[in-house]
Structure 1
Amino acid sequence: MAHHATKQAACANCDYAFVPGEPDEFCPSCGQQNHAVEIGFGHVAEEFLEGIFHFDGKVFSTAKLLLFRPGELTRRFLAGHRVPYVPPIRLYVFISFVFFLLLGTQLGHEDAGEAEKRAEPAATKKLATTPDSDSISFFQGPKAQRTARKSVDQAITKAFAARVDSLAAAPATPGQQKALKAARREQARLVAAARAGGGFQIAFAEIKRLPAHPTDAQVDSVVRSKGAVPSLMSRLAVRRTIRWRDSTREEVVHQLLRGGSIMLFLLMPLAALLLKGAYFRQHRYYLGHLIFTVHVQCFLFIFLGLVMGLDKLNALPGWLSNLLLLVPAVYFIVALRTFYQQSWRKTVVKSLLLGVAYSLTALLSLLTVGAIGVALF
């Protein structure tokens, strides 16, 4: 496309003197475009449209192969056909940005009713069913936790002792025996629940009463109330709990999306390693497996984005929604067959093994990123 901005006799950046009669669109010394800074709006619009339509041409050819010919885009790109298609990393960045933007919109915003429910943490309601369960603190060491669990057991036993004794002393009617067994089962359940969750339960009752920005003295008071010594980790745990307590739905969604995007980005190199192990006899470079992984991930983003859009419009019947769950699996198998050129039987078997290995890797990554996200939120 021709540009009609005023050309200059010398480069404004490096003072290179353009030779009359030779191309002067760009400086051959530094590469800067040769036109004055004061350009009209029409020229800006012309350059903008040129960039957009040039990029769109690549997008259409890339999307056609990516969506309807699984594995073919990777095969062509590694064969050297790079000019007609969008580079893998640029494609991933653009599609993942649009996907997570749509996902954030899909999750919506909290209303007044949800805000009121958030004012009373669900964890506090759950702990309230266990007598003295908040006496077991996240901040305590193993010895203090064992002592606290013992006190919880004693409190629960004492709470049920009177009822159990009265039921045991009553006439041995079928109804009384049934009630006695139910009371003992409930007692055992509460003791087991306290023991199982005690090591990770934080003193929510005390933390709930703290302001949004507590002082160090207030935080240390909560920690000491559980018989623990204030430390960097215990103070951090209190402040992060307050942060989650006071977070809006938008803030939580933003944190989840950020953690999810990081996790998926980190999973791609790991998935490429799994592919390299599954097809080690082909002696392919690691980069080829990584590009294949990027293209498959891009397809998943596009597919899930379309499904979310159709679901938002209520355009999908239930049976079709269930059927669409098979599309990613079928796409992955066909992509493996196209790119790695093995028999269908070997491809299906390897796809199942890769699916299991990837699921375990994703679960481990999810737990890791989740823990880091909670700590740094």
Structure 2
Amino acid sequence: METKTPTCQNCEKPYEEGFEFCPHCGQKTNEDLTIGVLFYNTISNYFSFDARFLKSFIPLMFRPGYLARKFLEGKRLLFLHPAQMYLFVSVIFFFILSFSTREFVARADKVNKDVVNSDKVNKTLDSMQLEKVALDSIKTSKVIKSIKDNKELLGLTDEDFKASDSIINAAIANNNSGPSFAWDFNEKKVDSLISINAEEKLIFKEMGMKDDVEEDGFQYKFFKYMLDRKKDRGKGFGSVIQGFFDAIPISMFFLLPMFALFLKLFYFRSGTYAHHLVFSFYYFSYLFTTLSLIFGINRFIYDIPNWIDWLVALSAFLYFYIALLNFYKRNWFFTLIKSSIITFLFFMAVIPVALLIIAFTLYWEIN
């Protein structure tokens, strides 16, 4: 008699009759669609995630290197996956950080607005421009006087002297005709042009920009950037700061693999690059968890003294050192040296990345 072999509705592979779950994909067999079935996977996955996170939280915070070691030993369902842990914690961290970021950006925009509208700043710039003109006039008069006193020795007639006088003044004027960013324009007239929605080129001309400036050139973009500041369109220095904070999560996609690469270079005989990446995911999860607690408590519960904040932040190095000892099982002295060098190299990599982010956001603002 032929044995009946049903087919799984999910993976379409045959299995022996009597199985409650498909041996190939794990889906329940002969399951009618109900409201309970519809939400079963979502609820079960959520509580499974929640349970694994709770099981992983204590070892993550108080047993450095333990989770990474257990993951490599094959215990990959009992605890939260390293990449999943990192993504979950980073979302929480940047969510909490956003509250402080908004306040910081608002203060930066206020400072920007005060600077743009400051009469003191404008008067200072005006006085600097007047001093520059005065110095140019003094230099011009000295040169002309020297020529006039020696015109007979130079063989110059009165007409030649007048011509040289004109040439000198034109040369000095031409020397000062480069891109000028000194804001010695009439503030009230510019404000009036802005209030009537005048063309930008007309406003730029009143601000001191020359007619022959190309629209795709830096000088034109700079004038446009400063006009946006003056119009207070919300594109002040705060937007640059906001852009910097927004770029941090993106930069971590480069910094974290770079951190794992440093580990691979110093522990090149201790497994593949993926092994070091597992360690990095869990370590950065610890960092973001710690920072989330600090920012969260400071923002919503209690203003922790600064020295405690710094102490907790600096404890990250001690955690890193102990995690290396537990994960790689090497000599404590050489581990201390390696952890110090890796930390130094990583911070040296963070600095140029941060500067590139700032430069990119500023360039994006101007363009």
Instruction: Report the TM-score, using the length of structure 1 for normalisation.
Output: 0.64
Which structure 2 residues correspond to residues 115-194 of structure 1 after superposition, within 5 A? Answer: 117-121=111-115, 129-131=124-126, 154-155=132-133, 157=135
Inter-partner Cα distance in structure 2 for 1:54 and 1:324: 31
Q: Is 1:347 matched up with 2:341?
A: no
Q: Which residue of the partner structure matches residue 244 of structure 2?
A: 256
Contact kept? 1:71, 1:292, Cα under 8 Å:
yes
Partner deviation per Cα, 1:227-270 (whole Å, 9 max, x = no partner): 75432555555555556652279866652332111122211122
- How far the C-alpha of 1:70 sits from its partner, in A, is 0.9
Q: Return the match for 1:80 from 74, 85, 88.
A: 74
Inter-partner Cα distance in structure 2 for 1:236 and 1:33: 65
Q: Is 1:288 matched up with 2:294?
A: no
Quick check: which has more Rg, 1 or 2? Answer: 2
Q: Return the match for 2:88 from 94, 101, 121.
A: 94
Inter-partner Cα distance in structure 1 for 2:204 and 2:235: 26
Q: Which residue of the partner structure matches residue 191 of structure 1?
A: none
Inter-partner Cα distance in structure 2 for 1:273 and 1:152: 57
Partner deviation per Cα, 1:52-83 (whole Å, 9 max, x = no partner): 21112221222222111111212222232222
Inter-partner Cα distance in structure 2 for 1:32 and 1:233: 64
Q: Which residue of the partner structure matches residue 71 of structure 1?
A: 65
Q: Is 1:370 matched up with 2:358?
A: yes
- How far the C-alpha of 1:304 sits from its partner, in A, is 0.6
Contact kept? 1:131, 1:155, Cα under 8 Å:
no
Cα gap change, 1:27 to 1:157, in 2 (>3 Å) = farther
Inter-partner Cα distance in structure 2 for 1:205 and 1:119: 18
Inter-partner Cα distance in structure 2 for 1:69 and 1:373: 39
RMSD over aligned CA atoms reads 4.7
Contact kept? 2:83, 2:281, Cα under 8 Å:
yes
- How far the C-alpha of 1:367 sits from its partner, in A, is 0.9
Q: Return the match for 2:53 from 51, 56, 59.
A: 59
Q: Return the match for 2:97 from 103, 113, 130.
A: 103
Relative contact order higher in (CA < 8 Å, ≥ 6 apart)? 2
- What 5-or-longer segments of structure 2 have no aligned partner? 1-5, 140-177
SS at match of 1:354: helix
Inter-partner Cα distance in structure 2 for 1:103 and 1:33: 46
Inter-partner Cα distance in structure 2 for 1:129 and 1:248: 24
Cα gap change, 1:23 to 1:358, in 2 (>3 Å) = same
Q: Is 1:304 matched up with 2:291?
A: yes
Contact kept? 2:68, 2:282, Cα under 8 Å:
yes
Inter-partner Cα distance in structure 1 for 2:261 and 2:216: 40
Inter-partner Cα distance in structure 2 for 1:272 and 1:59: 23
Cα gap change, 1:53 to 1:246, in 2 (>3 Å) = same
Contact kept? 1:27, 1:33, Cα under 8 Å:
no
Contact kept? 2:19, 2:29, Cα under 8 Å:
no
- How far the C-alpha of 1:356 sits from its partner, in A, is 1.8
One-letter amino acid matched to 2:124? T
- What 5-or-longer segments of structure 1 have no aligned partner? 1-8, 134-150, 162-198
Percent pairwise identity: 22
Q: Is 1:230 matched up with 2:215?
A: yes
Contact kept? 2:7, 2:14, Cα under 8 Å:
yes
- How far the C-alpha of 1:300 sits from its partner, in A, is 0.7
Inter-partner Cα distance in structure 1 for 2:220 and 2:19: 66
- How far the C-alpha of 1:157 sits from its partner, in A, is 4.6
Q: Which residue of the partner structure matches residue 259 of structure 2?
A: 271
Contact kept? 1:27, 1:34, Cα under 8 Å:
no
Inter-partner Cα distance in structure 1 for 2:233 and 2:41: 47
Partner deviation per Cα, 1:119-157 (whole Å, 9 max, x = no partner): 344697767634577xxxxxxxxxxxxxxxxx8984475
Cα gap change, 1:365 to 1:25, in 2 (>3 Å) = same
Q: Return the match for 2:312 from 302, 317, 324.
A: 324
Q: Which residue of the partner structure matches residue 156 of structure 2?
A: none
Inter-partner Cα distance in structure 1 for 2:25 and 2:326: 45
- How far the C-alpha of 1:116 sits from its partner, in A, is 5.7
Count of matched residue positions in the alignment of Structure 1 and Structure 2: 311
SS at match of 1:326: helix
Q: Which residue of the partner structure matches residue 359 of structure 1?
A: 347
Inter-partner Cα distance in structure 2 for 1:62 and 1:113: 39
Partner deviation per Cα, 1:210-237 (whole Å, 9 max, x = no partner): 8699967469757943975432555555
Deviates more, 1:91-100 or 1:28-37: 28-37
One-letter amino acid matched to 1:129? T
